[in-house]
Structure formats: C-alpha cells, structure tokens
Amino acid sequence: MEFNIIENGGVCTPLGFAAASCVADIKGKGKGNTDLAVLVSDAICQTAAVFTTNIVTAAPVQYDKALLAKGREFMGIVVNSGNANACTGKQGFIDCEAISAAVENELELPKGSILAASTGVIGNRLPADKIIAHIPALCEEIDDDGGSAFAKAIMTTDTVSKELALLVETDKGSFVIGGTCKGAGMMSPSMATMLAFVTTDADISADRLQKMLNVASEASFNSINVDGDMSTNDTLLAFANGMSDVAIDDSNSALFQEALNYLCKELALMIVRDAEGASKMVTIMVKGAKSDADAKLCAMKLSNSPLVKTMFAGSDPNWGRLMCTAGYSGAQFDPEKVSIWFNDLHYVKDSTLIDPALEDKAYAIMKEPEFTITLDLGAGDGVGTYYTCDLTKEYVAINADYRS
C-alpha cells in the first residue's frame, strides 16, 4: 500500500474542508443530540454521487439529482438527521431548497452550490423554519476541526460515529482522502439508509471521480447487508477540491482507485459492525459459481436470510440453512457438489458434512465477533462477497420501537 491511515482523520482532514454541527431538535422531542451539520470547501469541488435505486426517493435525493444534472461543481452539503424528508410531496423539495439557500446566503456562496441530505423517519414534514433559524449560528461554528462533529450529527441509530482518512503518497506529492458515513439498519443490496461523504484535496475531474466512485461503491456500500431493506435516502457523495495540487491522471489513477476502494470498504464495514442489534460481522464469500453475478446473487441471498442470520446469532453451524438458501438464491449449481468452510475449517464436501466431530470447532469459530463463511458451488470460476451481521432480538427491539 502506498497510503496510510491518518489518526483521527475524517472529512475535514483533506486541505480546505471545514464543518460544524448543532442541535436543531428536529424530532421536536427536546433531546440534546446534534442533528444538523454543514460541510464546506474553501475551493470549488468536482463532485460525484451515487444514489438509492428505490423509485420512492426522498426530497434531498431529488434535489441533489436535479442540481447534479446541471453541473458537477459544488461547495459542500447541509445534512440533517431525525427526519428523512421523504414522502413529503412538493413541500419536501421546497423545504430542501430553502435550507440549502439559507446556507448559501449565510456563507455568501453561489445559489445551488450546497447539496442536501437527510436521514430519519419517513413521511413527516421537515421542520424547515426551525432548521433555517439555526443556520446563521451553525455557519459561525464552521471550522477545519469540525469533521468529528459532522460525523456525529449525521448519526441515527448508529452507536458510534464512523470516520477515516488516508494519506496517499505519489510521485507528484501527497494528497488526502477522508470520509464519514452513517447507517445501521435498512442496509441492503443497493446501499440503504446510508449517507456517506468522501472528501479529497486531490485534483481530479468530476468524470474520473464518478467512474472511480462507482467502482468503489460496488465492492463496499453495495456489498453490505443488514436487513435487506433499501432506503429512499441513500446518498454517497464525493467532493474533490484540488487544493493539494496533486493532479490525478492516467499515471496515478490506479493508486487513487485503490485508496478510494479501501476507504469505502472500511467505512462500509464500520456500518456492518455497528448494525442495529448486531453482535457479529460475517463475511460471506461464494466461489466456484457459474459467473461472478451468480456468486454475488448467492452471497447476497445468504446475507439476507433471517434463518442464516439467526444461526449466526446462535453460533450454530447449521450448514443445512446455507445449502437451503443457496438452493433458492437463483444461482445455478449441482446441489451435490457444494463445499463449505467456516474460516479455514473445511466443514462440508460434496454437500455432506465431513465429520460430525468438527461441530465444536465450527461452533468456536462462530462465537468470534468476526468470521468468514465460504461456499464453493463447484460450478465454475465466479466469485462474490457480501458483508453481513447476525439477526438478534435487539434488532427487533430497535425497529419495533424506533418511532414510538
């Protein structure tokens, strides 16, 4: 690796980025967590984005998409937690526009230069007036030490904030990529109530950044699964302000991609580790599939099965549930040719248990907070990986009681 983790790094670690947060009491419960935040750059950013594929999209997703369709240069973003501003009709879009405009006015930025993101409960109007009233004081606080405050303010059911920054050394000098994300439930095959923001002081075109962000998100945020649900608000945004003066071109784009992949994957794994009610992070590798698509489909279905996920919770090497789920996944294979490993323990061969005496070893592996399950379908060279968690009673408690 030609990059290194920067201690306590985050979205404000690259040159020229600053942030702030405040308590806007968006839920109206008088509670004290920060729930409104801004992130801004000193210089214009080339911007790339990946959004939810849900056809029901939140107002801020619609707002950002509309702006990104017109251009790729932005100055930053305003984010709230506690209310998703989804299923709020035309009013939701108007609220979104007004909040972004309030930030732009306060910071004397061009109209349409601040994007928006929201996360929280769907279906309630955003308290826009209350939010706008907080903008002047919030903008006063903007500071290049504000990355952690930003990361905390975007949390909902997350129990820890999620931040990372990498220092990347190149022949032309060094640049930094930073990131933060939130999300702990509703994770699914295609992201899900997940917000992720990447910043960099590298000098990169919006087109190049977009292509690399697509690649990085596929193997990270699009390969994690908490509960199979896909949100109306999923947003991954990357801002590049060029202030390191290190230009990314064909000579060093592979390195940028590698660092971006690493950053996105580590941020995504932080989400799985912090998944609602989860006690374990499980990597599901499928190999020997007819195609990579088949392998990914099978890994996704395994990562999504309540019976498989409760088996993780119970540390029970009940491999029949893996066979059964693979069998209905849609992947094509000979049901008599499957091998299964728990970490390096070869447990099943030709679809039968190798030795009942291995059960205690498999149980011990599954008691660990992180382990890998590998299925070889014996049908070809296709490979695919998903990252998931166990399904616990606490998940149900969190989601049954979320609003009330």
Q: Residues in the site for a second copy, rule: CB under 8 A? A: 53-57, 84, 86-89, 121-124, 185-186, 188, 190, 227-232, 304-307, 310-311, 313-314, 316, 318-321, 323-328, 332-333, 335-336, 350-353, 391-393, 395-397, 399-404
Q: Whole-number minimum distance, CB 136 to a second copy, in Å?
A: 30
Under 8 Å between Cβ of 186 and 224: no
Residue 378's CB is within 10 A of a number of other CB atoms, namely 18
**Residue 27 beta carbon to a second copy: minimum distance, rounded to whole angstroms:** 14
C-alpha span between 71 and 65 (Å, rounded): 10
> 82: alpha, beta or left, given left = phi > 0 and alpha = psi -120 to 50?
left
Contact of 63 with 116, CB cutoff 8 Å:
yes
Across 145-278, where does the E strand assignment appear? Answer: 162-170, 173-182, 195-200, 224-225, 235-240
Helix 89-107 × helix 59-70 angle, to 10°: 60
The nearer residue to a second copy, 20 or 308, going by C-beta atoms, is 308
If the CB atoms of residues 32 and 90 are measured against a second copy, the closer one turns out to be 90
Q: How far apart are CA 369 and CA 386, in angstroms?
A: 16
Q: Is 104 helix (H, G, I), strand (E, B) or coil?
A: helix
Judged by beta carbon, residue 91 or residue 159, the one nearer a second copy is 91
Which lies closer to a second copy via its Cβ, residue 80 or residue 392?
Answer: 392
Q: Is 193 a catalytic residue?
A: yes
Exposed, middle or buried: residue 403 (CB in 10 Å: 0-12, 13-18, 19+)? exposed
Q: How far is the CB of 335 from a second copy (least distance, A)?
A: 4
Find the shortest distance in angstroms from Cβ 322 to a second copy: 9
Distance, in Å, from the CA atom of 275 to the CA atom of 192, rounded to the nearest integer, reads 12
Task: From the candidates 119, 180, 193, 200, give the one annotated as an active-site residue.
Answer: 193
Closest listed residue to residue 175, CA positions, set 257, 246, 122, 107: 246
Beta strand pairing call for 281-289 and 235-240:
unpaired
Which one, 46 or 232, has the nearer CB to a second copy?
232
User: Would you say 108 or 401 has its CB closer to a second copy?
Assistant: 401
59, 95 contact by CB (below 8 A)? yes
Name the residues annotated as catalytic.
193
